[in-house]
A and B are shown apart, each in its own frame.
Chain A
Amino acid sequence: MLTIEQINDHELKFIGRFDASQEKMAADELSKMSSTVTIDMEQLNYISSMGLSVLVNTYKRLHETGNTLRLKNINSHVRDVFKYTRLDQIFEIIEG
């Protein structure tokens, strides 16, 4: 299960597991963000390709208006998923 906490207007925190069953909930939450947003992933311990797809779609939507999506504090297993899909070269990743 994935929990999304809103830290402030520009930062969210993802907690838990981002699998295909969480796609709609996560897409709905991210659709509310209209300016550059940072997602703290310190407590995100799983992400599959469906989760990646939601993040990429959000990045594309924000990028069209000159904004972006930043990811921070990604743990090692989740980081491997970004590395093998080369999405670590697309997203701005902030080290903890």
Chain B
Amino acid sequence: MISKKAFRRNTDELQNIFDFLKMNFQQLRVDQKDQFELELSVEEIFMNMVRHNDGSTKDIELLVEGGEKSIKLHLTDYEEVPFDITKTEAVDFDEYFREKKSGGLGIHLVKQFMDSITFDHQNGVSTITITKNL
């Protein structure tokens, strides 16, 4: 099963994204825990694209690819300068708490919750694919 939808690069779109995901998750019979972790991962990547590519006005596309044993979600953004989240450094929690930081945990959570994350950039188009084994 494949389902695709484009979303404006705006925080207000989050509810529409969650509604789109929930509709697909129901068809794929994804359990509550996996739904939670997939929704959170999509929010973190979507918000990362909105924040790091704030000069763009193009929509961000979300494609759901469901199978019997896994679900893949592809988020596609149009950006000249690629930002590869798979290459972000692991969070140093000792430093994090010592310096009393408060952000930057989103990608860390995606890496914890997903079974794989891949990044591809070709011709000004970046695609992040997350996979969750069901």
CB within 8 Å of B: which residues of A?
Answer: 1, 17, 19-21, 23, 45-46, 48-50, 52-53, 56-57, 60, 76-77, 81, 84-86, 90
Contact = CB atoms under 8 A, between A and B. Distances in A.
B12 A85 contact: no
B122 interface: no
Contacts of A49: 44, 103-106, 109
Given A20-B47, A53-B103, A48 B40 contact: yes
A57 B102 contact: yes
Q: Is the interface of A mostly helix, strand, loop or mixed?
A: helix
A84 B113 CA distance: 9
B14 A20 contact: yes
B22 to A, nearest CB: 12
A85 B100 contact: no
A60 B108 CA distance: 21
Contacts of B11: 20-21, 23
B102 A86 contact: no
Interface of B: 11-12, 14-15, 18, 32-33, 36-37, 39-40, 43-44, 47, 93, 97, 100, 102-106, 108-109, 112-113
A21 B15 contact: yes
Contacts of A19: 14, 18, 43
B102 A56 contact: yes
A48 B112 contact: no
Contacts of B104: 49
A7 B117 CA distance: 42
Contact of A84 (B18, B103, B108): B108
A1 B109 CA distance: 21
A46 B39 contact: yes
A76 B36 CA distance: 11
- Chain B CB count within 10 A is highest, among A19, A21, A49, A60, for A49
Contacts of B37: 77
B36 A46 contact: yes
A3 to B, nearest CB: 14
A17 B14 CA distance: 11
Contacts of B93: 86
Contacts of A85: 105, 108-109
